């Protein structure tokens, strides 16, 4: 069986696709281009209207270039709007998020002895894979899924369900599996990662899990995926700063710097809480990458609200931004608000924030020139992803998935030499 997987959206989807790919490989599957595959799986996102559109375009393209392929749509858009997808040409099979773990069994059933899982719950692993074989040198590990935080603009709780965490023992076995397969870095992901363990007394807390991972007998290092600001207390920041096994890289979605807008978004923190977290990170880890998400043009956003975000971001220690023009999601509280910001103004405010993000990223790159960073080689050894999340071009000649140290010699373009 030849398969292709198209993944949209966040690292949680990327982790889900990695686990699915390993299960398909355990059943004898081999990766192929979408136009040559027997099976095409589209793992969708529904955070924005453009994400929905991207899924539809991909499904239409697959039907056009490979009408004989079996096509499966899964992920958040497939869970939210199955009827829209089933009405597309070729009538793709829709498998929602809560059944995503059954996809391999549905499309490529095998005898129990052919493939294996470790532990119970989400996040199954199939056959051993080598870094790079599935397109990555980092092992994407989803330790939590679902969300109980009712942000007024977000559709994800309705597509992912309530928060559920993997048992810490399962997570530790997954890390052992990744290390045995040759991975040097594990990326910890979750829909609401900071809520890890809150769904069961025996599952502990995120801090407890991080401490257990810090003590894992392998030599793998870890990168923590997106954390909500209220879920990034000093104890976690201090552990990352002191451990040596966690990348100095935090992604903390702010969404807005106006407390008024944050309340309308139903975000359970203030700008002061956010500022306290990022300032502590910068004080303890001067070279850390600190990323954020921002929403431009949320209903009711005034010129003063927008200015508050611009003013904070421009003077903040953030190093990169993901900016989203507000996109109403069907069924959410925010979609029913009447005081919409005109579309042209939303786009202009988003443009301004993206320009600020470009300035922050350029400043960070310039500050890193002549520093020496740990990293992993990508793209056959021609690029190094540093611990603080910079992709540095290096002279060819090495191999991929190698731990290296790179001295950054240039910010524009970002380049360096191996030490």
CATH for 392 = 2.40.50
The answer to whether residue 124 scores a pLDDT higher than 60 is: no
The verdict on residue 405 lying in a domain is yes
| Separation in Å, CA 93 to CA 21, 59, 179, 251, 312 | 18, 11, 35, 34, 46
pLDDT in tens, 155-178: 988 888 899 999 999 999 999 999
Of the candidates 327, 15, 294, 322, the residue with the CA atom closest to the CA atom of residue 160: 15
Mean pLDDT rounded to a whole number for the chain: 91
Average pLDDT over residues 369-398: 94
Q: What is the pLDDT of residue 134?
A: 55
The token duo for 380 is: 């056959």
| Separation in Å, CA 174 to CA 12, 27, 165, 218, 279 | 16, 19, 14, 12, 33
Residue with tokens 């239409």: 60
The token duo for 262 is: 């944050």
> Distance (Å, rounded) from C-alpha 4 to C-alpha 27?
14
Q: How many domains is the chain partitioned into structurally? A: 1
How is residue 307 annotated by DSSP?
Answer: H
**Paired strand residues for 42:** 6, 73
**Confidence bin at 255 (pLDDT 50/70/90):** very high
Range 361-381 burial, b when 16+ CB lie within 10 A, else e: beebbeebeeeebbbbbbeeb
Bridge-based pairing state of the strands 93-94 and 70-75:
parallel
The verdict on residue 335 lying in a domain is no
**Confidence bin at 358 (pLDDT 50/70/90):** very high
Pick from 126-140, 204-218, 373-387, 397-411: least confident: 126-140
The verdict on residue 355 lying in a domain is no
The verdict on residue 182 lying in a domain is no
The answer to whether residue 108 scores a pLDDT higher than 80 is: no
User: Which phi and psi angles does 375 have, rounded to 5°?
Assistant: -170, 180
Percent of the chain whose predicted confidence (pLDDT) is above 90:
76
How far from chain centre, in Å, is Cα 174? 18
**Confidence bin at 111 (pLDDT 50/70/90):** very low
The verdict on residue 379 lying in a domain is yes
The token duo for 353 is: 């924030």
Average pLDDT over residues 108-125: 42
SS3 content of the chain, % helix, strand, coil (to 5): 40, 20, 40
The verdict on residue 398 lying in a domain is yes
Angle at 126 between CA 120 and CA 128, to 5 degrees: 130
Strands, sheet with 138-145, edge to edge from the N-terminal-most edge strand: 164-165, 138-145, 185-190, 221-224
> Distance (Å, rounded) from C-alpha 392 to C-alpha 407?
9
Q: Are 299 and 341 in contact (CB under 8 A)?
A: yes
Percent of the chain whose predicted confidence (pLDDT) is above 70:
93
Q: What is the pLDDT of residue 156?
A: 86
Q: How many C-beta atoms lie closer than 10 Å to residue 50's C-beta?
A: 12
Q: What is the pLDDT of residue 119?
A: 34
Model pTM?
0.87
Of the candidates 289, 250, 244, the residue with the CA atom closest to the CA atom of residue 386: 289
pLDDT in tens, 287-324: 999 999 999 999 999 999 999 999 999 999 999 999 99
**Paired strand residues for 93:** 72
The residue segments making up the domain with residue 414 are 370-418
The verdict on residue 59 lying in a domain is no
Q: What is the pLDDT of residue 232?
A: 97
The answer to whether residue 114 scores a pLDDT higher than 60 is: no
The answer to whether residue 353 scores a pLDDT higher than 90 is: yes
The verdict on residue 413 lying in a domain is yes
Average pLDDT over residues 182-192: 95
Altogether, the residues listed in the chain come to a count of 419
Tell me the chain's radius of gyration from C-alpha atoms. Answer: 21
């Amino acid at each position: 069986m030849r398969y292709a997987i198209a993944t949209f959206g966040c690292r949680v989807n990327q982790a889900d696709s990695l686990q699915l790919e390993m299960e398909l490989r355990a059943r004898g599957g081999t990766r192929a281009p979408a136009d040559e595959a027997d099976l095409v799986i589209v793992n969708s996102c529904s955070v924005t209207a453009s994400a929905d559109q991207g899924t539809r375009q991909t499904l239409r393209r697959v039907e056009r270039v490979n009408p004989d392929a079996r096509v499966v749509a899964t992920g958040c858009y497939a869970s939210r709007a199955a009827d829209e997808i089933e009405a597309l040409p070729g009538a793709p099979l829709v498998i929602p998020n809560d059944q995503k773990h059954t996809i391999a069994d549905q499309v490529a059933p095998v005898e129990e002895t052919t493939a294996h899982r470790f532990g119970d719950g989400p996040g199954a692993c199939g056959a051993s894979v080598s870094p790079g074989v599935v397109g990555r040198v980092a092992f994407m590990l989803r330790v939590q899924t679902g969300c109980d935080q009712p942000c007024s603009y977000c559709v994800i709780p309705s597509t992912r369900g309530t928060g559920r965490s993997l048992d810490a023992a399962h997570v530790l076995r997954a890390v052992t599996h990744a290390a045995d397969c040759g991975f040097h870095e594990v990326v910890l992901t979750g829909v609401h990662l900071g809520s890890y363990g809150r769904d069961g007394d025996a599952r502990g807390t995120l801090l407890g899990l991080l401490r257990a991972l810090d003590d894992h007998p392998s030599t793998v290092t870890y990168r923590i995926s997106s954390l909500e600001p209220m879920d990034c207390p000093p104890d976690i920041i201090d552990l990352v700063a002191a451990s040596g096994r966690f990348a100095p890289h935090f992604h903390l979605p702010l969404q807005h710097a106006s407390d008024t807008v944050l309340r309308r978004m139903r975000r359970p923190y203030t700008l002061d809480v956010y500022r306290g977290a990022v300032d502590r990170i910068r004080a303890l880890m001067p070279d850390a990458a600190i990323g954020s998400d921002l929403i431009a043009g949320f209903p009711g956003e005034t010129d003063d609200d927008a200015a508050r975000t611009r003013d904070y971001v421009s003077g903040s220690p953030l190093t990169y931004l993901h900016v989203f023009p507000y996109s109403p999601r069907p069924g959410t509280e925010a979609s029913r608000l009447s005081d919409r910001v005109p579309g042209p103004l939303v786009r202009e405010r988003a443009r301004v924030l993206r320009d600020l993000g470009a300035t922050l990223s350029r400043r960070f790159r310039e500050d890193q020139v002549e520093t020496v960073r740990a990293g992993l080689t990508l793209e056959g050894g021609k690029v190094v992803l540093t611990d603080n999340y910079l992709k540095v071009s290096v002279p060819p000649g090495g191999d991929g998935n190698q731990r290296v140290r790179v001295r950054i010699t240039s910010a524009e373009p970002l380049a360096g030499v191996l030490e």
